Amino acid sequence: MGFSVGIVGLPNVGKSTLFKALTKKEVGIAPFPFTTIDPNVGVVEVPDQKLEKIAEVIRPKKVTPTFIEFIDIAGLVRGAHHGEGLGNQFLAQIRECDAILEVIRAFEKEGIPHVEKGINPARDIEIVKTELIMKDLETVEKALPKLEKEEKTGDKKTIKKLNLLKMLRENLSAQKQVLKMNLGTEDFSLIKEFQLLTAKPILYLLNIRGDDTSQSSFLKETRESFSNINYISLDLKFEEELSEMSEKEKIELGLLSKLDQLIVACYNILDLITFYTVAGGNEVRAWTLEASANILRAAEKVHSDFKEKFIRGEQISWEKLVESSAWTKAREKGWIQTVGKEYVVRNGDVIEFKI
């Protein structure tokens, strides 16, 4: 599995519609809050033209892409951190996700009420932001007493973690998200166990109607609110209808889905890269890896034994492999490089592990 993205938002904003369009799974969709109670889970292939090009060269028996797991989580309402609606259940489910995809309703539709009695994307973003911050503040405050007791042992790591949590408490109380606190890698490592919600990267999806976003006056007025955040606009009703058509019907009607853009955007917000293995020509496979990770981490992704048994790697960029038209020809040209344990894997690397 690559990684997981939690689909969140207020009730009746289009979360389940998106999930159905992405996964082609039938889910309950209705114009009233909390249609989704237990989370829906689906696995979606990450679009990858590099993988297709490599497969054309290697001609393997099997081609395996990398995947995203999408989790459709129950709608959140104001006061969720106090248990309003399905609040505590909702927030617990987010903890298990690597990233958050927040759906924001930016359309008016008779018969589909908004839980806040009106369409206002900027307000909805603030509601969810506040609930996540308040839940994080609750988590931090619960953790502090135990650390204050352990501080007496003089353990340096405990003292550092305690001071870090005190700083987090101060900033969360001021309504600042963890991801915007300018923490270092070591800091994030220290607080990883707490699974703080606002430490997760977030992508906003504006659920519109039609292609022209400027037609919605309320969206035009609040566009400035989205200037400093990662967001994408999609007509989810249209995407749902497309998902129910055959490929032939879509081609005949000249209709194109934009879901691939969303899937790739989710992939990108986690600062991930893709590397590839060719398994002696039997299988071309894409693997997800953290940016700046070394080849030992990549080896561990492929097989748990590979990290310990690693001798060396043979590496070539996907472009060079495609240009050479065959692995053997790439070797003859001297384009396949031998790399050691310290090698930092680059996006698009094709690697053979020698163990």
Can you give the pTM of this predicted structure?
A: 0.84
Give the separation between CA 240 and CA 353, rounded to whole angstroms.
42
**pLDDT for the residue numbered 81:** 56
Angle (nearest 5°) at CA 1 between 46 and 250:
30
- Determine the average pLDDT of the residues in 188-210: 92
Of the candidate ranges 76-85, 255-264, 343-352, the one whose mean pLDDT is the lowest: 76-85
Residue 50 CA to chain centroid, in angstroms? 20
pLDDT category at 209 given cuts 50, 70, 90 is confident
pLDDT in tens, 84-135: 444 455 667 788 899 999 999 888 776 677 777 788 888 899 888 998 998 8
251, two tokens? 């081609």
Whether 28 has a pLDDT exceeding 50, the answer reads no
DSSP 8-class letter at 347: T
- Amino acid residing at 218: F
pLDDT value at residue 199: 95
Q: 3-state SS string over 179-208?
A: HHCCCCHHHHHHHHHHCCHHHCCEEEEEEC
Q: Where are the domains of the chain?
A: 3-268, 292-354
CATH number attached to the domain at 292-354: 3.10.20.30
Query: Over the stretch 227-247, which tens digit does the pLDDT of each residue have?
Result: 667 888 899 999 999 988 988
Tokens of 314: 């043979």
The token pair at 19 is 């999930």
Q: What pLDDT was estimated at residue 214? A: 47
**What number is the average pLDDT over the span 186-210?**
92
By DSSP bridging, strand 349-354 and strand 312-317 are antiparallel
- DSSP SS3 for 211: coil
Q: 287 with 298: CB under 8 angstroms? A: yes
The Cα 112–Cα 209 span in angstroms is: 14
Can you read off the two tokens belonging to residue 246?
């055959």
User: Tens of pLDDT along 147-187?
Assistant: 999 888 888 899 999 999 999 999 999 999 999 998 998 99
**The CATH fold of domain 3-268:** Rossmann fold (3.40.50)
